[in-house]
Amino acid sequence: MRMESDPIVPSDQLMSVAVAAARKAGALLQDYAETGFRIEHKNPINLVTDADHAAEQCIIDCIHAHFPSHGILAEERGSATRTDSRYRWIIDPLDGTTNFAHHFPMYAVSIGIEYDEQGQVGVVFDPTRDELFTATAGGGARLNGRPVWVSDTHVLDRALLVTGFAYNIRETPRNNLDHFSRFALRAQGLRRTGSAALDLSYVAMGRFDGFWEIQLSPWDMAGGTLILREAGGMITDLHGNPHSIHQPELVASNGLIHSAMLRVIKDSLFQD
């Protein structure tokens, strides 16, 4: 049952709370990076730190203070609050935990806000570079307030691509290594940054031309997919069908190299 009392909130109000929460959580992450943090293992290569938990709590507190009726889906805590709201905040408090744990400065806070399961606001904040990526549905994408667009690279030979690997890479043959080796021979360059939220944001502002991954979670994508779409990018599943953040795979690009990326993926799928 949905609550009739959940008032419509203008996007700029949602945005200002999301930005404040992301900046506060980012500052907290930087405090932990300087003063130290505890690491726990979810599996041998999947880490979580007390900084992840503290940043998540900070964001949830901020949402509760402004929008106590809104739903929340947060990585470390799952569904943190009621689910009958038409609004849902989808949070990755620290995207790039392995990088963070190694003091490799490539991680971000990611927040996406849905209304009736449609992305309304996306925020990805990199506290190490003070880079704030933002988008509202229909309102374009921005980096630190300035509009951004995808690149105009139109062939794979000239494209810088990025991907990532899931934490079950040792346990499943569906581990993305097949796609990785094919793209390595087709693209101008191929990177693995360790933060899907930044990968999407970097495609949005043209640092990368394309990104794919096969086992992501909603919180990895909720902020960055809206930012990329609003920057003129294209996102599908591995077969070229419409994408939803509630499915694990995605191909994201500047649009111009999208069908070439899908062809490379199709070739490796065909080998299975």
DSSP letter string, 131-162: EEEEEETTTEEEETTEE-------SGGG-EEE
Q: Contacts with ligand IPD in 152-171 (CB under 6 A)?
A: 164-166
74 forms part of the interface with ligand IPD (CB under 6 A): no
Number of residues that bind ligand IPD (CB under 6 A): 13
Q: Contacts with ligand IPD in 203-242 (CB under 6 A)?
A: 213, 216, 220
CB of 177 to ligand IPD, least distance (A): 13
Report the distance separating Cα 16 and Cα 19, nearest Å.
5
Partners of 140 in the β-ladder: 136
Q: Please identify which residue in 56, 92, 114, 209 interacts with ligand IPD, judged by CB under 6 A.
A: 92
Report the distance separating Cα 30 and Cα 4, nearest Å.
40
127 forms part of the interface with ligand IPD (CB under 6 A): no
Q: Report the residue number, 25 or 187, with the smaller CB distance to Ca ion.
A: 25
Q: Please identify which residue in 97, 120, 153, 253 interacts with ligand IPD, judged by CB under 6 A.
A: 97
Q: Which residue ranges make up the site for Ca ion (CB under 5 A)?
A: 75, 92, 94-95, 220
CB of 106 to Ca ion, least distance (A): 12
Contacts of 173 (CB under 8 A, 6+ apart): none
37 binds, among Ca ion, ligand IPD, none (CB under 5 to 8 A by kind): none
The alpha carbons of the chain give a radius of gyration, in whole angstroms, of 18
Q: Please identify which residue in 85, 128, 153, 195 interacts with ligand IPD, judged by CB under 6 A.
A: 195
- Measured over the CA atoms of residue 100, residue 103, residue 106 and residue 109, the dihedral's sign is positive
96 forms part of the interface with ligand IPD (CB under 6 A): yes
Helix, strand or coil for residue 119? strand
Q: Report the residue number, 216 or 234, with the smaller CB distance to Ca ion.
A: 216
Tell me which residues touch ligand IPD (CB under 6 A): 92, 95-97, 164-166, 194-196, 213, 216, 220
